[in-house]
Structure 1
Amino acid sequence: MTGIADANLRQLMTNLIIELYKYQAESERKRIIERQQQGIALAKQQGKYHGRKPQYAKDDPRLQHAFKLYQAGMSDIDVARNTGIKRTTFIRYRKKLNVQR
């Protein structure tokens, strides 16, 4: 006998094996994330982890120019088009630095 003759039973076994593989993959991914978070926490305690460097400094001329355009009445989208700064990045910095019209 080379396999399961009943099609329903064969499909059930196939689904069961697939679910088992999915569970193993999900569990492994959770363990990887947990170990990564532990490593980051340890590095922060040791002063070795500072995260990603900001894309723009507070006094970056491109960012300051974008803020001036925004305060002059331009929309976020127009500021992004004129300065080359992504709209979401501009909005994040605008909120972070509390720039208002």
Structure 2
Amino acid sequence: MSKGQRVGYVRVSSLDQNTARQLDGLDLDRIFEDHASGKDTHRPQLQELLRFVRDGDTVVVHSMDRLGRNVDELRTLVTDLNTRGVRVEFHREGLTFTGDRNPMNTLLLTLLGAVAEFLRAQILENQREGIAKAKQAGKYRGRKRALTPAQVQDLRRQVQAGAQKSALAREFGISRETLYTYLRSG
């Protein structure tokens, strides 16, 4: 196996979060950065990384939960990369997966992936319980709307006039998904 590139992958869940600490100080040839939930593998930069890496490359990820929060998808990603001759290193855990049929590596990947999946489910359950209690006490009003009613009218007017949706999302400071939500809601 020839020495390939060291390719980093970093992920945070939202645009206002910072990825700087994740692979800080590591010598990498290229970094792919997603600002998206880890609930599934439908992340643009992850998909680009999967197309980019070649036999002999090493993918470096800060921790397993940055690559995936679902044990099945995590195992599938690592297995797919290893089958293609790509090593996967998880920096925080100090683990490297090369495709060797090592029972300990399989156990650790499955176990730590399951822990990440469990923690994600626990966070969501706690969030639902907290919201339900706050609603019951009359204290929950939901998230503040990103746009005022006047801005929503302006947004819809510009879309009808043929303006590009991605440019409008940037102009209004919202994600494209939020833009589409506003367009569907009225």
Structure with greater proportional helix content: 1
Query: TM-score, normalized by length of structure 1?
Result: 0.57
Question: Does 1:33 pair with 2:120?
Answer: no
Please list the CA deviations of residues 37-66 of structure 1 after superposition, one character each: whole Å capped at 9, or x if unmatched: 1111111111111111112222x2x44344
Q: What corresponds to 2:115 in structure 1?
A: 24
Structure with the greater alpha carbon radius of gyration: 1
The number of residues matched between the two structures is 83
C-alpha distance in 2, partners of 1:89/1:29? Answer: 23
Q: In the TM superposition, what are the counterparts of 1:1-101 in structure 2 within 5 Å?
A: 11-58=102-149, 60=150, 62-69=151-158, 74-77=161-164, 81=168, 84-85=171-172, 89-97=178-186
Structure with greater proportional strand content: 2
C-alpha distance in 2, partners of 1:14/1:49? Answer: 45
Long gaps (5+) in structure 1: 1-7
CA contact (8 A) 1:76 1:90 kept: no
% identical equivalent positions: 33
SS at match of 1:51: coil
Please list the CA deviations of residues 12-59 of structure 1 after superposition, one character each: whole Å capped at 9, or x if unmatched: 12221321222222222212211121111111111111111112222x
Query: TM-score, normalized by length of structure 2?
Result: 0.35
CA contact (8 A) 1:44 1:50 kept: yes
- CA-atom RMSD, angstroms? 3.2
Long gaps (5+) in structure 2: 1-99
- State the one-letter code of the partner of 1:92: T
